Amino acid sequence: MMLELFYANNYDNKSLLPVFRDQTTKDAYFNNLPNKYVADVNFNKIGEPLIVKMPFEHIYWYNYGRMQMPISGDWFYFSVIDITVNEQGRSVIHYEMDYWLTFCEKNRVVFDRCLVHRRFARNSQEHKLMPKQPFAPVRMETSNIQPITTGYSILLSLAQIKIGGTYQKGLTYFCIPDVDCEEVEGSAISLFNNYFLNSDIVGAWLCPFKVESYNLNGWSNANSTSGKIGYYTLSSMNFNGINLMPYKDMFTIPISDFTTDEMTLSGVCDAYGNIIWTIPFKRYELNRCKMYIHMSAQTCQVEMLFGGTSIDKVKNSSFTFACPTIDVVLNNWSDYCARTRDYEMQSRKLQNEQALVGAITQAGAGAMTGALIGSAVPGIGTAVGAVAGAVTSVAVSGVQYAVNNTYSPKFQKIEDEQYKHSQDTLSLSGTSLLEYVRNNHCLYAFKLIGDSYSVNRMNEMIATYGWVVNESWDGENIITTFKNSGLSVGGLQMDSNIKGGIPEAWKGKLAERFSNGVIMRRVGTW
């Protein structure tokens, strides 16, 4: 029997699993290995030590070999376990059969249904489909951060609005589409007191976008106030079952590879770095976005939908956040003038007039009664007295009317002063507009990456030992799969069920290797 011994670093018959392009390439590889030992030996059975005449000091460094069966001509490969010397001074080679390299290219090993714990990726893109791996970065560093919104808008819900000098009751949405710092300091909301009072405001929010860049179909055309800023309105009566809330068409996120994996965290944050939303694990092609505003009487939310070429809402690819509320201060004097003052003045005037008319009417009735009694009784004294009394009563009432008219403005002035100097009240509590605007409170897309040490460590572990998958394979040709992967090295660990035309004990030995985990490696010419 022909025996060949080699020094080969690529084989240990345990974790290393060499893969050749084909049987011809494998034969050529071993035929061309340098410094090999070739001898003709006798043996009785596989597994029995081999005895060679070569001195121990000339042979001890060989770690791998193969022997050729005399009848079939097939090569059986083995790893050298130990080399001893017998009593005749000959070297005794103890070995363990390498059933993988012996039978892998002969299609004698078939893998039935297997539970795969770790494996290499079948192709360069399959890593996107792998489950989350048990790795976490030691620390994360900012890779990129870019604003995805600009400017600010104020959104209001009103109980009523004045159009053309006439109040229109019913819920109305009001939008001040673009707010800058100058307008905030000048109180942007107060510029529209000709259209509503602060007491008409049911809800007030700051939207971190310029809503004028949104689709505002169904809203009123833009108007201007004091030549500074415009507004849009939408009455709830105009809905007709159709959502007419503002939305912004799809736009591109200014960050490449906008995704999240073991060593990358991408998403949306505010100006203070507070994370609002993160991309779900290994969701790709989320580099485009569409935004919707959702309003009700007391809520205002912005929904952001992420996608690639499509804007369809995809589960876990959208989020909604509440627009921050802003302070609304109720000016008691302005509200009093607009709602109550005229009413109170007119009411006081009518009360004075009513008192005068009542006194005159009462005096007239008294005179009439006196006259009737006087006609029934001899003499005219009673009638004359009644008339005189009526005249006197009317005169007194006229004086009182004049007095009331004189003092009513004075009382009104006192009441006016009371309202002018009364403390304004906070009708809606939120955050100062100026604080948001001065701190550039817009939204940002961010991308964080793990430190280089953590990234390199994970990549090396995956390249060597494979991805943690815990999945089943059924009848997969492992050699073909590895060859098609394009990898030079790939890890594989599985509880295998091996079938094929080799003894059961050999199948068990081969299955044990895969159970412990192997590193498949390309060897030879490819």
Task: Look at residue 86 in the predicted model and tell me its pLDDT.
Answer: 92
pLDDT for res 373: 45
Residue 451 · residue 138 · CB < 8 Å: yes
Average the pLDDT over 137-164 and give the result: 86
Report pLDDT for 374.
47
Which tops the pLDDT comparison, 183 or 73?
Answer: 73
For 300-326, what is the mean pLDDT?
A: 77
- Rounded to the nearest integer, the mean pLDDT of the chain is 79
Contact 446, 267 (CB under 8 A): yes
Of 36-50, 328-342, 439-453, 465-479, the poorest mean pLDDT is in 328-342
For residue 449, the cross-strand partners are 141, 264
Question: Residue 358 pLDDT > 70, yes or no?
Answer: no
pLDDT in tens, 200-218: 888 999 888 777 767 776 6
Helix (H/G/I), strand (E/B), else coil: 407: helix
**What is the DSSP secondary-structure string of 376-389?**
HSSSSHHHHHHHHH
- How large is the average pLDDT for residues 481-489? 93
Residue 302 above 50 pLDDT? Answer: yes
pLDDT for res 232:
67
Residues 6 or more apart whose Cβ sits within 8 Å of residue 349: 405, 408
Count CB-CB contacts under 10 A for residue 336.
18
Q: What is the pLDDT of residue 64?
A: 94
In this structure, what token pair is assigned to residue 314? 């995809």
What confidence category does residue 500 fall into, taking pLDDT thresholds of 50, 70 and 90? confident
Supply 420's token pair: 């002018």
Query: What number of residues does the chain have?
Result: 526
Average pLDDT rounded to a whole number, residues 223-231:
52
What tokens does 278 get? 């993160």
| Residue 252: pLDDT band with limits 50, 70, 90 | confident
pLDDT at site 137: 95
225 or 439: which leads in pLDDT: 439
pLDDT band, residue 123 (cuts 50/70/90): very high
pLDDT in tens, 397-450: 556 556 555 656 665 566 555 555 555 666 676 766 666 666 666 889 999 999
Average pLDDT over residues 294-298: 87
The domain spans of the chain are 1-106, 108-139+451-526, 153-328+428-446, 332-423
* CA–CA gap between residue 306 and residue 290 (Å, rounded): 7
CB 308 within 8 A of CB 297: no
- pLDDT value, residue 142: 93
Determine the average pLDDT of the residues in 90-108.
Answer: 89
Q: Binning pLDDT at 50, 70 and 90, where does residue 348 land?
A: low
Instruction: Please state the rounded mean pLDDT for residues 384-397.
Output: 52
Residue 364 has pLDDT above 60, yes or no: no
Confidence of residue 346 (pLDDT cuts 50, 70, 90): low
Q: What is the pLDDT of residue 256?
A: 85
- Give 110's pLDDT tier (boundaries 50, 70, 90): confident
Give the integer Cα–Cα distance in Å for 249 and 247.
7
Q: Tens digits of per-residue pLDDT, 51-91?
A: 998 899 989 999 999 999 888 889 999 999 999 999 888 99
Q: In which element (H, E) is residue 397 found?
A: helix 381-420
Report whether 87 contacts 129 (CB < 8 A).
Answer: no
Contact of 481 with 107, CB cutoff 8 Å: no
- Range name among 16-30, 116-130, 357-371, 505-519 with the lowest pLDDT average: 357-371
Contacts within 8 Å (CB) and 24+ apart, 121-125? 121/467, 121/485, 121/487, 121/490, 122/481, 122/484, 122/485, 123/484, 123/485, 123/486, 124/486
Per-residue pLDDT, 237: 43
CA 140/CA 153 separation, integer angstroms: 34
Structure confidence at residue 286 (pLDDT): 85
User: Rounded CA gap, 59 and 61, in Å?
Assistant: 6
The beta strands (E) that lie in 120-182 are given as: 140-147, 153-163, 166-176
Among 129, 133, 112, 113, smallest CA distance to 121 is for: 129
- What pLDDT shows up at residue 185? 46
Q: Report whether pLDDT(461) > 70.
A: yes
pLDDT in the model for residue 422: 59
Mean pLDDT of 479-502: 92
